[in-house]
Chains A and B, each alone.
Chain A
Amino acid sequence: MPTRMPARKGLLPMAKIIKHSSIIDDGWTLLRLAEGESAESVALPAGNLIVPLAVWQARKAELLARPQRGVWLAPDELAQDIATDLANLQLVAIDFPQFADGRGYSTAALLRTRFGWRGELRAIGEVLRDQLFYLNRVGFDAYAIREGKDIEDALKALNDFSETYQAAVDEPLPLFRRRGRAA
């Protein structure tokens, strides 16, 4: 099977992603609703799917029959909108239609800290090298780097800073509780 299927509107294959600081083949297919498609009637391709929240809500029974299930959240969809379903999922993705829309950072932090999400948390959409360090800090562990960008290059950003001040998902203690400890 070719790694790059011919582009079809609404169904974008993802070849390589960054996960846990490595570049790996992606085993998931992202489903976006094209214009005119509805959550109730869209065809669900075979394989491991990451579906929009609306599709998950409309087709839960159908999707639960599959071995692996993923859901993605739009910027205005909140962590609590998926909270009660987390036990049935292997992957949650958060979409960044524009990288400068930072709502997904809070949503990610809440999924990890408030709702105890331990599965894959993937950033999709306009995911670029220069946001990776912060995305990693708020709890993302997988990144579908935007098409046309060098994924090897993006990987470097995870090491942009050697030290950080705040408590966050990647380091639950703020620097002031760690300062001088290693001395």
Chain B
Amino acid sequence: MYRYDHYDQAIVDDRVKQFRDQTHRYLAGTLSEDEYRPLRLQNGLYIQRYAPMLRIAIPYGLLSSRQLRALSDIAAKYDRGYGHISTRQNLQLNWPKLEDVPEILAELAKVEMHAIQTSGNCIRNVTSDQFAGVSPDELTDPRPWCEILRQWSTFHPEFAYLPRKFKIAVNAADTDRAATRVHDIGLDVLKDGDGNIGFRVIVGGGLGRTPIVGVVIKDFLPWQHLITYLECILRVYNLHGRRDNKYKARIKILVKALGIEEFRRQVENEWAYVKDGAATLTEAEVERIQQHFTDPAWKQLDDLSLEALAVEKNDKAFTRWLERNVHGHKKPGYAAVTLSLKDPKTAPGDITSAQMNFVADLADKYSFGELRTSHEQNIILADVEKSRLHELWLEARAHSLASPTVGLLQDIICCPGGDFCSLANAKSIPIATAIQERFDDLDYLHDIGELDLNISGCMNACGHHHVGNIGILGVDKNGAEWYQVSIGGRQGYNAHLGDVIGPSFAAAEIPDVISTLIETYIDNRESEDERFVDTVHRLGIGPFKERVYANKNAGKERAVANG
């Protein structure tokens, strides 16, 4: 992974000093609330419903065991002993004290970490594929490009006060695991006919109030021009993006208003001036960065089939875990493993300090001391010897990190919601818990098969509800919490936004609604291989909608009859 040199360290150390002084001036009253707000946000510090929230950057989701131990210590010392993995692969602390934050940042800087630009109207943490560098379907490792973008975007002077936040994702595999189509800029790493690396540049995607799937602005951008081209996109956006209405301020609205042809023309016009300038990437720099992402010291192993392993251990629980939580690896004899943070007893994505220390130990023992966070809010050990999977499973299970449900209905993506977030219209965690409790039969879960269920507590869509196969959105109706349900969304290269099935539901109705959706799917699927989302796309939302509302009305009549 990328290690800081004295330049990187100096920049992060200066930031700690700067923010300490800003916070000091705020507490002393010489910096007003309005003046301090953007400064603290660009250090990941929100003032939330009950306490501040600090979002710590995990660039493209990559962490060392040493860093995770430091996070564990910080969560124990300055918070309530747990953190929350966000859908942008970051770690959020829900209960720090504002006056402690400068000290937290100082501790983070000691392990080459920070909270820079994890919020605010600036370029945010660049996200990527959690299986980067090990996935068999990968063209090249996307992480060096992410790191190049991290450095470029860190304290970019021209783009610190954009109309709105700006998110970039990079993917380099056949499968899009980075949700590139729903980012302000999505980058697909490609090779041209001569084997030269470049990028397909997607612009103007996003979720939130106006969900839009991004469009291609450039089919193939040679790697040398990555920074100059992105700078031009940002400049056109900074100058012309709307600032009169924060709900219309994302780049997607500008791209839509101008049309992609006109937006592209403006970007290309800017680019003509800066192309081949000093910001053009050099081979030396790309090599320098790539040297930080070389393969670990994999052993030469004979490959081992997971089926054979399952037969050998003859344990249904282990077999299920192998099916769901163990993923392919480009090196024979190795696998990537998802440690699930979706134990039904805790909020999705939450991890305790004890678990962090434990995961750090697992990373040291099984995976070269490194781990990744995923936008699905789980943790990945990327380089595990297959022959040690059973041993790892036993250990992980003892710490509630082995729910064999990755990609299934229980693997819910969920924002912190109204329990913590001051933007939320409704709570989201209790909805996730109620659904997880309803669907706690592992046989049934595995029979239902792959299903992304995503929950957001408001339109800002941190829980990515639009691209959930089932999406749940918290809405406010006259001060009461209601939930709108959509189906048919999906992430990936064929990203699709779900369709709302009808009027919203009370919290207590949601488990029944999900049950009805699932029953409709089971009754209608052509085979066990047809996933929920495929059935929805084959049949449309009609049959699902009809049955959900028929049941709802029947329920009401029963209630009246019994009343």
Q: Which residues in A have some Cβ–Cβ distance to B below 8 Å?
A: 78, 99-103, 105-107, 109, 113-114, 128, 130-131, 133-135, 137-138, 150, 160-168, 172-177, 179
Contact between chains at A168 and B157 (CB < 8 Å)? yes
CB distance from A66 to the nearest CB of B (A): 31
Asked, given contacts A160-B14, A163-B7, A164-B11, whether A177 binds B278 with beta carbons under 8 Å apart, the answer is yes
Q: Which residue of B lies closest to A171 (CB)?
A: B278
Query: With A and B bound together, what is the CA distance between A150 and B30 in angstroms?
Result: 10
Q: Which residues in B have some Cβ–Cβ distance to A below 8 Å?
A: 5, 7, 10-11, 14-15, 17-18, 22, 30-31, 35, 38-39, 121, 151-152, 154-162, 227, 235, 238-239, 243, 273, 277-279, 281-282, 284-285, 288
Q: Which residues does chain A contribute within 8 Å of B154, judged by CB atoms?
A: 165
Asked, given contacts A105-B238, A130-B39, A176-B285, whether A138 binds B7 with beta carbons under 8 Å apart, the answer is no
Total cross-chain contacts (CB, 8 A):
105
Give 3 nearest A-B pairs by CB, closest first: A102-B161, A137-B157, A134-B157
Q: Which residues does chain A contribute within 8 Å of B30, judged by CB atoms?
A: 150
CB distance from A181 to the nearest CB of B (A): 11
Contact between chains at A99 and B11 (CB < 8 Å)? no
Contact between chains at B151 and A165 (CB < 8 Å)? yes
Contact between chains at B279 and A167 (CB < 8 Å)? yes
Q: Which residues does chain B contribute within 8 Å of A176, judged by CB atoms?
A: 151, 281-282, 284-285, 288
Query: With A and B bound together, what is the CA distance between A179 and B39 in angstroms?
Result: 28
Given contacts A113-B273, A161-B18, A162-B10, 8 further A-B contacts (CB under 8 A): A105-B160, A160-B17, A161-B11, A163-B10, A165-B152, A166-B155, A177-B282, A179-B288
Query: With A and B bound together, what is the CA distance between A99 and B22 in angstroms?
Result: 16
Contact between chains at A166 and B152 (CB < 8 Å)? yes
Contact between chains at B35 and A99 (CB < 8 Å)? yes
Q: Which residues does chain A contribute within 8 Å of B288, judged by CB atoms?
A: 176, 179
Contact between chains at B7 and A99 (CB < 8 Å)? no
Asked, given contacts A100-B121, A167-B277, whether A175 binds B7 with beta carbons under 8 Å apart, the answer is yes
Q: Which residue of A lies closest to B150 (CB)?
A: A165
- Residue among A99, A100, A175 with max Cβ neighbours from chain B (10 Å): A100
Query: With A and B bound together, what is the CA distance between A103 and B240 in angstroms?
Result: 8
Residue in B7, B157, B282 whose CB lies within 8 Å of A166: B157
Query: With A and B bound together, what is the CA distance between A100 and B413 in angstroms?
Result: 32
Asked, given contacts A137-B157, A166-B279, whether A103 binds B35 with beta carbons under 8 Å apart, the answer is no
Query: With A and B bound together, what is the CA distance between A58 and B213 in angstroms?
Result: 46
Contact between chains at A167 and B157 (CB < 8 Å)? no
CB distance from B339 to the nearest CB of A (A): 33
Q: Which residues does chain B contribute within 8 Å of A128, judged by CB atoms?
A: 35
Contact between chains at B158 and A168 (CB < 8 Å)? yes
CB distance from B276 to the nearest CB of A (A): 13
Q: Which residues does chain A contribute within 8 Å of B5, judged by CB atoms?
A: 179
Q: Which residues does chain A contribute within 8 Å of B243, judged by CB atoms?
A: 101, 103
Asked, given contacts A128-B35, A174-B278, A175-B7, whether A166 binds B239 with beta carbons under 8 Å apart, the answer is no
Q: Which residues does chain B contribute within 8 Å of A133, judged by CB atoms?
A: 157
CB distance from B24 to the nearest CB of A (A): 12
Q: Which residues does chain B contribute within 8 Å of A101, judged by CB atoms?
A: 161, 243
Asked, given contacts A114-B273, A165-B151, A179-B7, whether A109 binds B158 with beta carbons under 8 Å apart, the answer is yes
Query: With A and B bound together, what is the CA distance between A137 and B277 in angstroms?
Result: 17
Contact between chains at B22 and A130 (CB < 8 Å)? yes
CB distance from B8 to the nearest CB of A (A): 9
Asked, given contacts A172-B278, A176-B285, whether A106 binds B11 with beta carbons under 8 Å apart, the answer is no
Q: Which residues does chain B contribute within 8 Å of A105, judged by CB atoms?
A: 157-161, 238
Q: Which residues does chain A contribute within 8 Å of B155, judged by CB atoms?
A: 134, 161, 164-166
Q: Which residues does chain B contribute within 8 Å of A166, judged by CB atoms?
A: 152, 155-157, 279
CB distance from B287 to the nearest CB of A (A): 11
Residue in A103, A172, A174 whose CB lies within 8 Å of B238: A103
CB distance from B431 to the nearest CB of A (A): 34
Q: Which residues does chain B contribute within 8 Å of A150, judged by CB atoms?
A: 30
- The 16 listed contacts between A and B (C-beta, < 8 Å) are A100-B38, A102-B158, A102-B162, A103-B243, A106-B158, A109-B158, A109-B235, A130-B31, A135-B157, A160-B18, A161-B18, A161-B155, A163-B11, A165-B156, A166-B156, A167-B277
CB distance from B289 to the nearest CB of A (A): 9
